[in-house]
Chain A
Amino acid sequence: MPLSYRILMTGIAAASSAGPAAAQTMQLDVAIPRLTVAEYHRPYVAIWLEQQGGPARTLQIWYDHDMPKNEGTKWLRDVRQWWRASGRALKLPADGVSGATRAPGRHSVSFVNGRGPLGRLAPGQYVLVVEAAREVGGRELLRLPFAWPPKPGVAATARGQSELGAATLTFKR
């Protein structure tokens, strides 16, 4: 066990120093606030990427993705800025993008350059957008601008007032 551990560590060290660089990762930490309301439903949440002059790309959509006859899609239009920017052009459910709604609390999602919905990002200015819409509730949208590739130690933060709490975007390799 200790031996294999050491080998693994060595492998990683070798990869990051001599071999191809480890993929750039971005991590979003976002809070869904706990609300004291008579009727609470978990919000639909969309996370997408905007680039000036380029098409928006959806990274995550949390909704009632597993209802019979795809009925959960009915309310996706209420995540309306996302719907207009990207959602309406998608075929849902989509692998690696669709997911279940999430409970109040802090949630962390990571996206790796060159993999999954992020794809390989060209250098440039981007905005990561998080939008939440809740049945019999409100809607809120947060924008987290960043430059790609990110400079070491850079982070973007935003804080919602109603349907979203603190959101932080960090980068690592």
Chain B
Amino acid sequence: MHKQFRLGLIAAAAAIATLPATLSAHRLWMLPSITVVSSDDAWVTFDAAASNDLFHPDHQPLRAPPAAFAPDGSAAKIENWATGRYRSTFDLHLTQPGTWKVAMVNQGVMGSYTLNGEQKRLPRGTALAELAGAVPAGATEVKLTEVDSRNEVFVTSGAPTQTVLTPTGKGLELVAASHPNDLVASEAATFGFLVDGKPAPAGLDVQVIPGGKRYRDDEGTIALKTDAQGQVRIEWPGPGMYWLNVSSEGRSTAIPDAARRMGYTATIEVLPG
């Protein structure tokens, strides 16, 4: 049972990091109850799961709590974590004004090798630094993929701030030319992306999918490609919650003969007006 769950989550994480925009797959998402709050003692509650349709939990819950960051950049506490059959829930207590971030970051190495005629997988969550000890001597058919994926949600109490939007310089990250908590349907948004701190190349697939899939026939995907500045401009079809995903594949520079998969995902709320 546990193993199955684990495999399911690995599959979901891999899907996020790798699948081209045209394929439907289990998508990992976190859904906040609200993203723009006015109280100085606000709570936001979240659902988190992997599912096909956004944002309907029907497959697997998120298995481990994400990290959270307060507007001053300090680590914040995930409250009331609970896991159900199809989704996990947790709360964030907004104890200071500004923009907060909840983030699932998955950085490490996935892969498999053959030892004594048996195929083995690297343990889940193998860090780059642990790689040397993770592949035993005598292993053959070593296939490694460096994975770097990020899934983020922003919520703001009072006026939006920038600290939690500061990139780390590792993997695929958002450059919020439009603040993610300052979006309205009548105004196009501009988001840029960084790869290891440098503007993402042109032509990366970016997909933006509105929630509420069960109540319409079309997926409704807005399929975009990054421009020469590594940016996309999004015209919103209407207010709502959107799942934004961009992915990139290439060769690892950290591990010889390894692939690299990077992904960035965010849940973004667009308000009427």
Chain A: residues with CB nearer than 8 A to chain B? 69-71, 73-77, 80-81, 83-84, 87-89
Contact = CB atoms under 8 A, between A and B. Distances in A.
B273 A74 contact: no
A74 B38 contact: yes
Interface in B139-182: 156, 158-160, 182
B40 A70 contact: yes
A88 B42 CA distance: 14
Contact of A88 (B34, B159, B184): B159
Nearest to A83: B38
Given A80-B271, A84-B184, A74 B159 contact: no
8 contacts: A70-B39, A70-B41, A73-B39, A74-B42, A77-B36, A80-B271, A83-B36, A89-B158
Interface in B222-273: 271-273
Given A77-B37, A83-B36, A88 B158 contact: yes
A80 B156 CA distance: 14
B38 A87 contact: yes
A74 B39 contact: yes
A150 to B, nearest CB: 28
A69 B41 contact: yes
Instruction: Count chain B CB atoms within 10 A of each CB in A74, A75, A88, A89 and give the residue with the most.
Output: A88
Question: Chain B interface secondary structure, helix, strand, loop or mixed?
Answer: loop
A68 to B, nearest CB: 11
Contact of A75 (B36, B38, B41, B273): B38
Given A88-B158, A89-B159, A80 B41 contact: no
Contacts of A71: 39
Given A84-B184, A88-B158, A88-B159, A73 B38 contact: yes
A81 B184 CA distance: 10
A77 B160 CA distance: 13
Given A70-B40, A87-B38, A88-B38, A80 B159 contact: no
Nearest to B41: A69
A150 B159 CA distance: 33
Nearest to A78: B38
Nearest to B272: A80
Contacts of A73: 38-40
Contacts of B41: 69-70
Interface string B177-194: 000001010000000000
A71 B38 CA distance: 10
A10 B40 CA distance: 52
B182 A84 contact: yes
Given A74-B39, A88-B156, 16 more contacts: A69-B41, A70-B41, A71-B39, A73-B40, A74-B37, A76-B38, A77-B36, A77-B37, A80-B271, A80-B272, A80-B273, A81-B273, A83-B36, A84-B182, A84-B184, A88-B158
| Shortest Cβ-Cβ A-B pairs, 10 listed | A76-B38, A77-B38, A74-B39, A88-B159, A73-B39, A89-B159, A81-B273, A88-B158, A73-B38, A77-B36
Contacts of B158: 88-89
A73 B40 CA distance: 8
